[in-house]
C-alpha cells in the first residue's frame, strides 16, 4: 500500500472460523457422514521387517457384515513418477508400497490389507481373520548401523543419489549431498578455538490430537471423491490419483477441518485404501486411525546423528564449520537431511563451510515433516556448539551470535545469498528483552539462548474474490486453514478493498472449486495465498474502476481508489455503493489471483529460556520462556503469537520428553498418548513473545512465514540452560530425567 | 468461433450428473443430514380468508420433544423493498406475510406458525396444540368477481398500479396495463372477418415430484446457512436475507439437486421459517412439505379470464387484435398477466393492437411462474381465435400463420422490435413435417396446430474456470442445474478451450463460492451462464497465450490458439502440454467470466397434434404429437429435445386434465397426486421433435433459451384438434372428459 499506514494489517480480528471451532460445529475428518457409508480397518504388520509369503483373505471376506477386502494386489502397478511432498519427492511406487505393502513389510505397523464392513468393530474383527504368512527378516533400526555395507537392506532397489547424480551404489543410503563454502581446512587453521561434538536425536511425532481419517467414494462414473483431514487438498488429490494411476482431475478432494497437523498430514495413508475398498463395494468407506496407528504408521520426524565442528578466532569471528549429518528417513527415502543442512548454520555468516549429509532408510515408519522439518535436530547440534564456543571465548552468547550474524548479502550453506533478513534484529530484540537481563537466582537454575531458522517456501496458490451486492466479498481459496489463515488471507484482501476483515467471507474450497494451491506447510499460506488474495483483490478494484468510469462517463484511468472509496474529480462512491450497481454496469465482478513465488529469505527465531534442574530426579522445569521471531509484516499479531507459542511448546516437549521408544525388534513400545509424553499445560510456562517485523522485500505486504522457525531453538536453548544450571552438556534428545541424571552421574564420576 | 464448424457444440455427450442421478447418489433437499438436526412442521390456515385474533403457542411449547415454536411475531418488521422474482417483483412485506401470516390468513394453507421438534411427527403433533383464534371472512375466489367494487378485499393496503403509475384506487386489482400498436378501431374496420371469443383457465401446479424442503442453521456467530431445493441459490439468499432483515452476505445458501421445479422453486417458503426456528433452538432445522402443502401453499400458475377479438382481410392478413385479460395472482400481486400480454400475439406481425391486462388478487395461494409463465393461458385463447379465423377464411392454419408471421423488424405488442427470430422457420418446419401431411383417418379424429412464444431472459451470471495440471479444467458456476445445464455450459467452455465436454468438471457452487448468478429460469441458463463460461474460457486462453509466450520467448500477440493447440511460428503445444507447465510459468491459471445480457428475441415453438375424442365418455386421446422449436444454436440436441418433450407433456396435462378443484369456501379438494391428475406415460405418446436453429445474434454461440416456449402451444393445438375431430370448440381448460361431453351435448342441443 503506497503511502500510509495499514487499516487492517496488524489488527487482531476474531477468526472467521472462531464460532464453529468453539461451539463444536466445525466438521473434522471423522465427522463425515454419507448415505450408505461403511467403515474400514487396516491390518498392519507385527514385524519391523519381513517378507510377505502369502495373504489369504478368504475367511475375512466370508465374515458377516464384510463388504470388501483389499491388499496390494488391488493397487495398480502403473507408471512411476515423483510425488512432490514439500519435504522432497517420493516415487509413486514407494508411496504405493507404503499404503499397502506388496512383497515386504518395512516397519511394524506397515499396512498389509484392509477390510470394509458395516461397522468399525466388524471390520477389525474380520481383519484378524486375514492370514498373512511372513518370513521375518533382521531389521535395521539405527541410522549409523544402516549405513554399514553389511547392514540388512531395507529396500532392495534403492540406489544412492550422490552429489545430485543417481549412482549404482546399493544399500540404505538414499542420498549423500555436500555443501561447500570457502575452504574449511583453511578456516580451521585460522581458528583460535575449535569445538567438535556429536549429537543424537530420536524420532518424535507431530502429536496432533485428531487422528488421520479419510472417507472415499469411488463413484459409478469413475470419479473418486475423498473427504479427508489434510494439509493440502491438491496434494492429497495428486498423491491419491497417482497411487491409483488416475488423472488428478478424476479425484475430487474435499478438505475437512484439521485437528492439528504440523507437517504430518501432507502425505496420504488411508485415502487410496478407502478408495479401493469403495470401488469394490460401491459404497462410501471411512477409515479412521486408532491412536496406535497414528504413532506407528504415519510419519514421525527423523532421528539423527550429527557431528559439528566449529572454529572461531579469539576476536569472536567464526572461521569455519564442518558438519557431518545422517538422518533416518524411515522405510523410504525423504529429503529432510537436506533441509537440516540448509538451516543448521543459517543464522551465521561463516566464510568456510563443509557439510556432508546423508538420508538413510531404516525399518521404522516413513518419516514426514514436522514443523521446520530437519531444522530442529540440526539447530540442537549447532547451537550447542556455538554456545560452547562463546563460553570458551568468554563472550556473551548473544553478542557472540550477533558478531557472526547473517545479514543481507550473507551466503547460506547451500549458496543462497540472503535478501533482507531479520537475524540481527531478532538477536538484538533478545539482547534487549527484560528476560535476558532479569536476575536468575537459586541453585540448579540456568538461562540459555538459541537461534533457529526456517527458509519458508513460496509455491503456487489460487484465489477468487466475488463481490456481493451488499458491499461484502466472498473469497475462495485452496489453502487448508490450520491456524487461522482464513483470517490472515482475508485481511490482506480486506486491506486492498478497504473493507473490514469480517466483510470478507472466506471459503476453503474443494479441488473442483478453485485453482491448484499447494499444501499448507512450509509457512507458505499467509505468504503465498495472501499474495494471491492481494492479486485477486486488485483484479476486483481494476474492474470496479471500469464500472465507476462507466457510470460517471469518464476514462477508467481517471478513477482512483483509496480507503474504500472510488473517486474521479469531485465524484465519489464507496465500495458498497458501487457493489450495489454492478448488475446494471455489466454484471457481477469476480477477481482472480494466482501466484507461484520462489521462497524468500525465511524467518529467524530465537529463544531465551530459564530452567531449574532437580539433581535428585533429573527433572527439568522450564521457569520462563521467551520466543522472539521475525514475522516480516505481522498480518494478525494474535495469530503470529499463537504460532510462536505453539512452536515453543512443541519444542519444549521435543527437548525434554517426547520420543519413540523402541524394542530391539523394532516395535514402538509407547504408542499411546499415555505413554508418549507430550507436554501438558503443567509442563509449559506462559510463553512470552516478541514479534520482530522486518518486511520480506518481495511480498506486497512484506509477509514472511511464521509457522515453523519458532520450534527450532527450544531444544538447544534448553540444553544450553541446563548447562548453565548444572554444568553438564546434554547432546542427546530427549533430555529426559534419566538422561539428565546419567549426565550428572557421569560428570560426577 | 470464427471460420469453422464446432467440435463440441451440437454433440450429445453424457450428462455430468448422469451417474449420480441414475444411481440415486444425487442429494436432494430432504437428503441433507446435519449433526444435531431437528425437524420442523408448519401449521396452516383452515380458512381461505380470516382475521387472526390470537395465537397461543404455550401448549405446543411445553409438549415433550419440542425445541422451538415461531409465529409472525418472530419475523422482523424491517424496511420494505422489492424482491425480484423473475416473474416481477414482490414487496418484502408481502413475502414475509406469505411465509408466516401476521394479521390475516389469505388462503387455505397459509402458514400461521411452525414448530421444531425431535421428529417430524412430534412437530406435527405439537403444531395441533397451537390455538389460533380466527374470525372467518368471506373469501373471493374468482378473478372477475374479485375485480368488482363490492368484492371482499384480500389485501387492505393494495393500491392499483395503472399504466405504470401507483394510484390510490383500493381493491383487488394489483395492476392494470395497456399495450397499443396502431389504431385497433381502424384495423377492425379494414377486416373482412372478425372473431371474438372468451376463454377461461384455472390454476394448475408445476407438478414437480420433489416437495419443497429447506434446512437452516442460524449459527452462533450470526451467519445463517441454508440448504434447499431451489432454482436459484442467490435469489433464495436474497429473499431469505431480506425477509429476515439481514444483509445478503450474512446468509449462505447451498443449492441441492432439484427434483423438478418449472418455476415453482424460485420463491422461498420454508427457508426463513426454518432459520427462525434454528435461531430459537440453536440447532439445524429441516422442514419438508407434505404433498398437500405443496399444492395448497406454494405457487401454482394463475387461473385466467381472457377475451380475444381479431380481424382479418379476405386475403389472410390480420388487421387488428384486441385483448382483455385478467389473471388471478393469488393472495399477493405478481406480474404474470404482463408476460401473457407480451406473448399472446407475439408470433404475428399485426399492425393494430390493443391489450388491456389486469393482475388481480384472490383468496388462493400466491401464484408463481410455471414454464413460460402467463403465456400458455394466453396462447390457448389467441391460437384458438387464429385457428377460427383461418377456418373462416378457408385457409390452411399454417399458411394463414405464415402469412402473418412475425420476423426481424416486426413489433411485439409491448413495442419491442424483433431482431433475427425463427418464427417463420418454425412454421415452415411444421408445414414441411411428414406429420402435417400424414393422412388421419377414422371418426372423431382431428389434427390441430398452434404456435407459442417465450421471450427468454438474460440477467447476470458468473463463472470461474481453473486449469488442472492434467489438461482438464474445473468450471464453477452459480446456476442451479435443473435440466442438464452443467453439460450445456461445460460444452461452451469446452468448445473455446478445445477440450471434450467430459474434460470440463462443472461445480454448482453455494453462494459463498461463486459470484452472483440469477435464478435458473426464464430459459436463461444455457444462454447467460454459458456466455459467462465463454468469457471465462477466453480469459483462460488469454492467460495461457502469455504463458506460452513466456516459454517461447515471443510476444503474447504472436501466439495463436486453435482447436486445442497453441502455436507461434513453427512451435506448438497442446492445451494439456501447456497446462502441465503453468506452475513454472507463474502459477495456476483461473479465468473469470461475468455477464448481464438483456433478453434477446426469444424462442418460438409450434405443435402439431392428432387426437381422437371418445364421444361416449368425452375422453381425448393424443395419438401423435410433434413439437417444433427454434433453439437458436442447439448446444446439446439431446437436452433440447428433452426440454421440448417435457414441455409438451406438461402442456398436454394442462390441456386435458390438470386443475385445482375448489370448494365454494376456497379449499382445494384434490391436493394429492391421486386426485390431481398429472399425465402419465400412458397419457402421452412419444413426442416427436424438430429443432430449428436460427442463431440468436447477440450470443457468442447463437444460443436461445429452450426451456419454456414448448409448453405454450399444446392446449391450443389440442383444442383446435378437438374441433377438427368433433366440431366443437372448447374455450376452457382443462378439456377434461366432462367438459368435452358438455360441449358435445350443448352442440347437439
Look at residue A747 in the predicted model and tell me its pLDDT: 87
How many C-beta atoms surround the C-beta of residue B136 within 10 A? 13
% of chain B beyond a pLDDT of 90? 96
Last residue of a domain, one of B595, B617, B642: B595
In this structure, is residue A379 part of a structural domain?
A: yes
Q: Does residue B125 sit in the same domain as residue B246?
A: yes
In this structure, is residue B114 part of a structural domain?
A: yes
Tens digit of each residue's pLDDT (9 = 90 or more) over A542-589 = 999 999 999 999 999 999 999 999 999 999 999 999 999 999 999 999
Tens digit of each residue's pLDDT (9 = 90 or more) over B710-730 = 999 999 999 999 999 999 999
**DSSP three-state, residue A520:** coil
Whether A221 has a pLDDT exceeding 50, the answer reads yes
Query: Residues with Cβ < 8 Å from A497, sequence gap 6 or more?
Result: A465, A473, A504, A537, A540, A541, A564, A575
Cis ω for the linkage preceding B734 (within 30 of 0): yes
Nearest to B248 among A35, A469, A583 (CB): A469
User: Which chain B residue shows the shortest CA-CA distance from A579?
Assistant: B516
pLDDT tier, A87 (very low <50, low <70, confident <90, very high otherwise): low
Query: Residues with Cβ < 8 Å from B214, sequence gap 6 or more?
Result: B29, B226, B227, B228, B229, B268, B269, B270, B271, B273, B274, B286, B287
In this structure, is residue B451 part of a structural domain?
A: yes
Tens digit of each residue's pLDDT (9 = 90 or more) over A425-481 = 999 999 999 999 999 999 999 999 999 999 999 999 999 999 999 999 999 999 999
Q: Does residue A251 sit in the same domain as residue A329?
A: no
Tens digit of each residue's pLDDT (9 = 90 or more) over B358-375 = 999 999 999 999 999 999
User: Which chain B residue shows the shortest CA-CA distance from A220?
Assistant: B19
Q: Distance between CA B353 and CA B367 in Å, rounded? A: 28
The residue segments making up the domain with residue B348 are 304-456+601-748
> Crossing angle, helix A271-281 and helix A92-99, to 10 degrees?
70
- The domain that contains B385 carries what CATH number? 3.30.365.10
Which cell goes with A22?
Answer: 468453539
- Residues on chain B touching A505 (C-beta within 8 angstroms): 249, 252, 512
Element (H, E) at A121: helix A120-127
Nearest-Cα distance to chain B for A38, in Å, is 15
Look at residue B4 in the predicted model and tell me its pLDDT: 54
- The domain that contains A86 carries what CATH number? 3.90.1170.50
- Residues on chain B touching A79 (C-beta within 8 angstroms): none
In this structure, is residue B148 part of a structural domain?
A: no
User: Under an 8 A CB cutoff, do A592 and B596 touch?
Assistant: no
Nearest to B587 among A470, A588, A595 (CB): A595
In this structure, is residue B642 part of a structural domain?
A: yes
* CA nearest neighbour of B516 among B204, B312, B238: B238
User: Under an 8 A CB cutoff, do B594 and A583 touch?
Assistant: no
User: Under an 8 A CB cutoff, do A248 and B469 touch?
Assistant: yes
Contact between A292 and A299 under an 8 Å Cβ cutoff? The reply is no
Q: Check residue B213 and give left, alpha or beta (phi > 0: left; psi -120 to 50: alpha).
A: beta
Look at residue A214 in the predicted model and tell me its pLDDT: 98
Last residue of a domain, one of B595, B629, B654: B595
What beta strand segments (E) does B75-146 contain? Answer: 82-84, 89-91, 104-105, 111-117, 131-136
Contact between B515 and A589 under an 8 Å Cβ cutoff? The reply is yes
Q: Does residue A577 sit in the same domain as residue A495?
A: yes
Nearest to A586 among B35, B511, B596 (CB): B596
- Cell 396452516 appears where? B44
- Residues on chain A touching B33 (C-beta within 8 angstroms): 33, 35
User: Under an 8 A CB cutoff, do A247 and B476 touch?
Assistant: no
CA dist A484 → A371, A495, A648 (Å)? 16, 17, 18
Contact between A667 and A110 under an 8 Å Cβ cutoff? The reply is no
Whether B290 has a pLDDT exceeding 70, the answer reads yes
Selected residue of A19, A33, A219, A221 to mutate for chain B interface (largest B Cβ count, 10 A):
A221
User: Under an 8 A CB cutoff, do A474 and B512 touch?
Assistant: yes
Q: Does residue B215 sit in the same domain as residue B309?
A: no
Look at residue A4 in the predicted model and tell me its pLDDT: 54
Nearest to A590 among B33, B462, B503 (CB): B462
* CA nearest neighbour of A446 among A405, A397, A401: A397
Q: Does residue B118 sit in the same domain as residue B233?
A: yes
Nearest to A470 among B25, B27, B247 (CB): B247
Q: Does residue B292 sit in the same domain as residue B347?
A: no
Last residue of a domain, one of A532, A566, A595: A595
Q: Does residue B605 sit in the same domain as residue B591?
A: no
Q: Does residue A617 sit in the same domain as residue A715?
A: yes
pLDDT tier, A144 (very low <50, low <70, confident <90, very high otherwise): very high
**DSSP three-state, residue A621:** strand
* CA nearest neighbour of A364 among A293, A302, A294, A271: A302
Tens digit of each residue's pLDDT (9 = 90 or more) over A508-528 = 999 999 999 999 999 999 999
Contact between B21 and B260 under an 8 Å Cβ cutoff? The reply is no
Nearest-Cα distance to chain A for B99, in Å, is 23
In this structure, is residue B6 part of a structural domain?
A: no
- Residues on chain A touching B18 (C-beta within 8 angstroms): 221
Contact between B70 and B114 under an 8 Å Cβ cutoff? The reply is yes
In this structure, is residue B281 part of a structural domain?
A: yes
CA dist B497 → A136, A462, B466, B467 (Å)? 55, 20, 12, 10
Q: What is the ipTM of this complex?
A: 0.95
Q: Does residue A85 sit in the same domain as residue A109?
A: yes
Domain count across chain B: 3
pLDDT tier, B2 (very low <50, low <70, confident <90, very high otherwise): very low
- Residues on chain A touching B457 (C-beta within 8 angstroms): none
In this structure, is residue A11 part of a structural domain?
A: no
| Average pLDDT of the residues of chain A | 96
Tens digit of each residue's pLDDT (9 = 90 or more) over A355-366 = 999 999 999 999
How many C-beta atoms surround the C-beta of residue A211 within 10 A? 21
Angle ∠(A733,A735,A741) on CA atoms, nearest 5: 135
How many C-beta atoms surround the C-beta of residue B535 within 10 A? 24
Q: Does residue A508 sit in the same domain as residue A657?
A: no
- Residues on chain B touching A284 (C-beta within 8 angstroms): none
Look at residue B442 in the predicted model and tell me its pLDDT: 93
Q: Does residue B293 sit in the same domain as residue B310?
A: no
Tens digit of each residue's pLDDT (9 = 90 or more) over B165-177 = 999 999 999 999 9
Selected residue of A242, A592, A595, A597 to mutate for chain B interface (largest B Cβ count, 10 A):
A592
Contact between B519 and B231 under an 8 Å Cβ cutoff? The reply is yes
- Residues on chain A touching B23 (C-beta within 8 angstroms): 220
Q: What is the mean pLDDT of residues B689-706?
A: 96
Q: Does residue B354 sit in the same domain as residue B471?
A: no
CA dist B740 → A104, B305, B378, B724, B736 (Å)? 82, 19, 20, 13, 6
User: Under an 8 A CB cutoff, do A516 and B583 touch?
Assistant: yes
Tens digit of each residue's pLDDT (9 = 90 or more) over B311-335 = 999 999 999 999 999 999 999 998 8
Whether B612 has a pLDDT exceeding 70, the answer reads yes
Whether B340 has a pLDDT exceeding 90, the answer reads yes
Amino acid at each position: 500500500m503506497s503511502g500510509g499506514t495499514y487499516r487492517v494489517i496488524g489488527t487482531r480480528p476474531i477468526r472467521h472460523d472462531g464460532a464453529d471451532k468453539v461451539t463444536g460445529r466445525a466438521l473434522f475428518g471423522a465427522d463425515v457422514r454419507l448415505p450408505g457409508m461403511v467403515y474400514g480397518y487396516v491390518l498392519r504388520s507385527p514385524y519391523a521387517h519381513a517378507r510377505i509369503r502369502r495373504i489369504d483373505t478368504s475367511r475375512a471376506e466370508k465374515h458377516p457384515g464384510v463388504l470388501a477386502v483389499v491388499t496390494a494386489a488391488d493397487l495398480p502397478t502403473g507408471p512411476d513418477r515423483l510425488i512432490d511432498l514439500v519435504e522432497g519427492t517420493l516415487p509413486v511406487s514407494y508411496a504405493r508400497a507404503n499404503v499397502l505393502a506388496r512383497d515386504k513389510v518395512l516397519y511394524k505397523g506397515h499396512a498389509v490389507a484392509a477390510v470394509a464392513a458395516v461397522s468399525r468393530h466388524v471390520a477389525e474383527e474380520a481383519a484378524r481373520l486375514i492370514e498373512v504368512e511372513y518370513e521375518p527378516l533382521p531389521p535395521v533400526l539405527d541410522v549409523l548401523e544402516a549405513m554399514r555395507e553389511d547392514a540388512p537392506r531395507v529396500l532392495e532397489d534403492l540406489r544412492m543419489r550422490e552429489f545430485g547424480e543417481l549412482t549404482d551404489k546399493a544399500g540404505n543410503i538414499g542420498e549423500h549431498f555436500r555443501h561447500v563454502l570457502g575452504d574449511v581446512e583453511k578456516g580451521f587453521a585460522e581458528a583460535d578455538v575449535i569445538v567438535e561434538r556429536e549429537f543424537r536425536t530420536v524420532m518424535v511425532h507431530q502429536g496432533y490430537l485428531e487422528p488421520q481419517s479419510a472417507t472415499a467414494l469411488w463413484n459409478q462414473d469413475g470419479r473418486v471423491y475423498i473427504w479427508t483431514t489434510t494439509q493440502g487438498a491438491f496434494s492429497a488429490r495428486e498423491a491419491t490419483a497417482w497411487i491409483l494411476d488416475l488423472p488428478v482431475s478424476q479425484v475430487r478432494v474435499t478438505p475437512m477441518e484439521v485437528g492439528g497437523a504440523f507437517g504430518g498430514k501432507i502425505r496420504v495413508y488411508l485415502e487410496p485404501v478407502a478408495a479401493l475398498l469403495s470401488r469394490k463395494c460401491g459404497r462410501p468407506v471411512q477409515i479412521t486411525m486408532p491412536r496406535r496407528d497414528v504413532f506407528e504408521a504415519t510419519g514421525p520426524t527423523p532421528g539423527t546423528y550429527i557431528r559439528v565442528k566449529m572454529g572461531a578466532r579469539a576476536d569472536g569471528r567464526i572461521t569455519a564449520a564442518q558438519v557431518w549429518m545422517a538422518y533416518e528417513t524411515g522405510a523410504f527415502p525423504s529429503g529432510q537431511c537436506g533441509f537440516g543442512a540448509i538451516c543448521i548454520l543459517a543464522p551465521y555468516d561463516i566464510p568456510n563451510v563443509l557439510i556432508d549429509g546423508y538420508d538413510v532408510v531404516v525399518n521404522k515408519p516413513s518419516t514426514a515433516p514436522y514443523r521446520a522439518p530437519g531444522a530442529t535436530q540440526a539447530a540442537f547440534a549447532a547451537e550447542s556448539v556455538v554456545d560452547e564456543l562463546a563460553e570458551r571465548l568468554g563472550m556473551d552468547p548473544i553478542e557472540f551470535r550477533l558478531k557472526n550474524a547473517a545479514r543481507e548479502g550473507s551466503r547460506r550453506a547451500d549458496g543462497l545469498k540472503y535478501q533482507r533478513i531479520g537475524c540481527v534484529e531478532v538477536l538484538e530484540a533478545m539482547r534487549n528483552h527484560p528476560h535476558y537481563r532479569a536476575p536468575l537466582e537459586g541453585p540448579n537454575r540456568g538461562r540459555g539462548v538459541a537461534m533457529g531458522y526456517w527458509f519458508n517456501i513460496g509455491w503456487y496458490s489460487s484465489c477468487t474474490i466475488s463481490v456481493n451486492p451488499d458491499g461484502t466479498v466472498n473469497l475462495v481459496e485452496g489453502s487448508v486453514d490450520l491456524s487461522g489463515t482464513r483470517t490472515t488471507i482475508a485481511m490482506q484482501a480486506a486491506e486492498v478493498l478497504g473493507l473490514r476483515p469480517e466483510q470478507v467471507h472466506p471459503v476453503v474450497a474443494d479441488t473442483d472449486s478453485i485453482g491448484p494451491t499447494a499444501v499448507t506447510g512450509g509457512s507458505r499460506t499467509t505468504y503465498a495465498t495472501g499474495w494471491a488474495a492481494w492479486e485477486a483483490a486488485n483484479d476486483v478494484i481494476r474492474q470496479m474502476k471500469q464500472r465507476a468510469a462507466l457510470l460517471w462517463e469518464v476514462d477508467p484511468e481517471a478513477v482512483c481508489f483509496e480507503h474504500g472509496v472510488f473517486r474521479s474529480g469531485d465524484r465519489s462512491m464507496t465500495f458498497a455503493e458501487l457493489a450495489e450497481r454492478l448488475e446494471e454496469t455489466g454484471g457481477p465482478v469476480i477477481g482472480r489471483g494466482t501466484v507461484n513465488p520462489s521462497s524468500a529469505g525465511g524467518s529467524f527465531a530465537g529463544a531465551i529460556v530459564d530452567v531449574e534442574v532437580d539433581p535428585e530426579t533429573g527433572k527439568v522445569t522450564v521457569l520462563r520462556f521467551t520466543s522472539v521471531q521475525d514475522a516480516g509484516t505481522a498480518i494478525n499479531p494474535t495469530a503470529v503469537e499463537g504460532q510462536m507459542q505453539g512452536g515453543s511448546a512443541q519444542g519444549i516437549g521435543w527437548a525434554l520428553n517426547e520420543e519413540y521408544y523402541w524394542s530391539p525388534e523394532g516395535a514402538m513400545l509407547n504408542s499411546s498418548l499415555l505413554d508418549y509424553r507430550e507436554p501438558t499445560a503443567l509442563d509449559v510456562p506462559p510463553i512470552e513473545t516478541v514479534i520482530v517485523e522486518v518486511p520480506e522485500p518481495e511480498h506486497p505486504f512484506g509477509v514472511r512465514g511464521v509457522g515453523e522457525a519458532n520450534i527450532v531453538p527450544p531444544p538447544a536453548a534448553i540444553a544450553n540452560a541446563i548447562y548453565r544450571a548444572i554444568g553438564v552438556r546434554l547432546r542427546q534428545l530427549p533430555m529426559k530425567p534419566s538422561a539428565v541424571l546419567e549426565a550428572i552421574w557421569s560428570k560426577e564420576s
